[in-house]
Amino acid sequence: MTLLSSDATIMQIRKLTQTMIMTLTTVLIMMATLLLGQQCWPMLTWQRRLVSSSSRTHAAAACACAYSNFTAKRIYPNLLADQIGQPDLTSLIQHFLRNQCYSDSDSESSSSASSDLPEFYEKITLYTSAVATFYAPSDISGIGGMRYERIRAVDTWRNGPGRYDCVFVSTQVDSDSDASAKGMDGFDIARVRLFFSFKHDGVVYPCALVHWFKRLGDSPDENTGMWVVEPEVHEDGTRFASVIHLDSMFRAAHLMPVYGNSFVPTYLSYTHTLDAFRAYYVNKYIDHQAFEIAF
């Protein structure tokens, strides 16, 4: 009887210990979520492989997308358009769908038929960030060549103003030319305004609404060795925007202002940097991979 009672006590102690460990783990996860804030919000994730520095080219490898639906928000685009200051959001999605549905051989006819847009009445699912995970063996300072970075597009960051990161976008259309493109010849710079996905005709499209930058000149700046870009705008001064597939986003980009001869106002906040200057340097010195591709 004493032996049985002792065994039962040991079993109870083990169960109690397991319960305490599970409870402590849950508490730690909740604390980490509160401390990290929006870093634990829903995100799109994809994988990317970078080539070695010897080839000096970029490879737009196929992306594997996965979704986290934790507190993800679903809304109709026309209801969201005014909130984000993009009244033509639905139209941009329709243009994106038309480009996705047409083959390369029909690209010219699709671009000319401006009135032939697919109907779109579905809700879109919003995300606050995307995480790019890729293998870059040329990064000698990395751990086994693996690297990841989070790209954010949120209206408030750490209880402050919004944060909308910039990205390198692969804009090569022809696969043959894509293989020979080098450096910035194969990329454009854009600023992400919204991450979202939607389902149309049974196909799920992971997308991003971006505002474009255009390059100034055909070569990098002579003094800094960095490319210079400026916001691309319409005739009325509004930003040129479009919806792109997540696969076309290569990685995050870092822009630095091109300062003029006058003093920077003391009231200018760093959160408004990407809206306050006329031109920006594409910083290729921010890390090892940026130096390889932004030449």
Alpha-carbon distance of 97 to 45, in angstroms, equals 21
What is the pLDDT of the chain when averaged over all its residues? 75
Strands 129-135 and 43-49, how do they pair? parallel
Helix (H, G, I), strand (E, B) or coil at 122: coil
User: What average pLDDT does this structure show over 2-7?
Assistant: 50
54 versus 218: which is more confidently predicted? Answer: 218
pLDDT of residue 158: 87
What are the pLDDT digits (tens) for 40-90? 334 455 444 333 223 333 333 333 333 444 456 888 999 999 889 999 999
Question: Three-class SS of residue 132?
Answer: strand
Q: Tokens 């760093």 map to which residue?
A: 270
Is the backbone of residue 37 left (phi > 0), alpha (psi -120 to 50) or beta?
A: left
Statement: residue 136 has pLDDT above 70: no
Task: Pinpoint the alpha helices (H) of 175-295.
Answer: 175-180, 273-276, 288-293
Cβ contact 67:197 at 8 Å: yes
For residues 112-140, average pLDDT: 77
pLDDT of 250 reads 87
Task: Name residue, tokens 């005739």.
Answer: 235
Count how many Cα atoms sit within 13 Å of the Cα of residue 72 in the half-sphere of its side chain.
18
Query: Of the spans 15-24, 106-115, 124-133, 138-147, which averages the highest pLDDT?
Result: 124-133
> Of 148, 146, 178, 215, whose CA–CA distance to 57 is shortest?
178
How many Cα atoms within 13 Å fall on the side-chain side of residue 227? 26
* Residue pLDDT, tens place only, 146-198: 677 889 998 888 888 889 999 999 886 544 444 456 788 889 999 999 999 99
Tell me the C-alpha distance between 254 and 264, whole Å: 20
Burial class (CB in 10 A: 0-12, 13-18, 19+), 190: buried
Q: Which residue has the higher pLDDT, 132 or 25?
A: 132
Helix, strand or coil, per DSSP, at residue 104:
helix
CA distance 188 to 215: 8
pLDDT of 244 strictly over 50: yes
Portion of the chain with pLDDT greater than 70, in percent? 63
pLDDT of residue 206: 93
pLDDT at 289: 80
Residue 184: closest CA among 213, 206, 160: 213
- Answer whether residue 253 shows pLDDT above 60: yes
d(CA 69, CA 62): 23
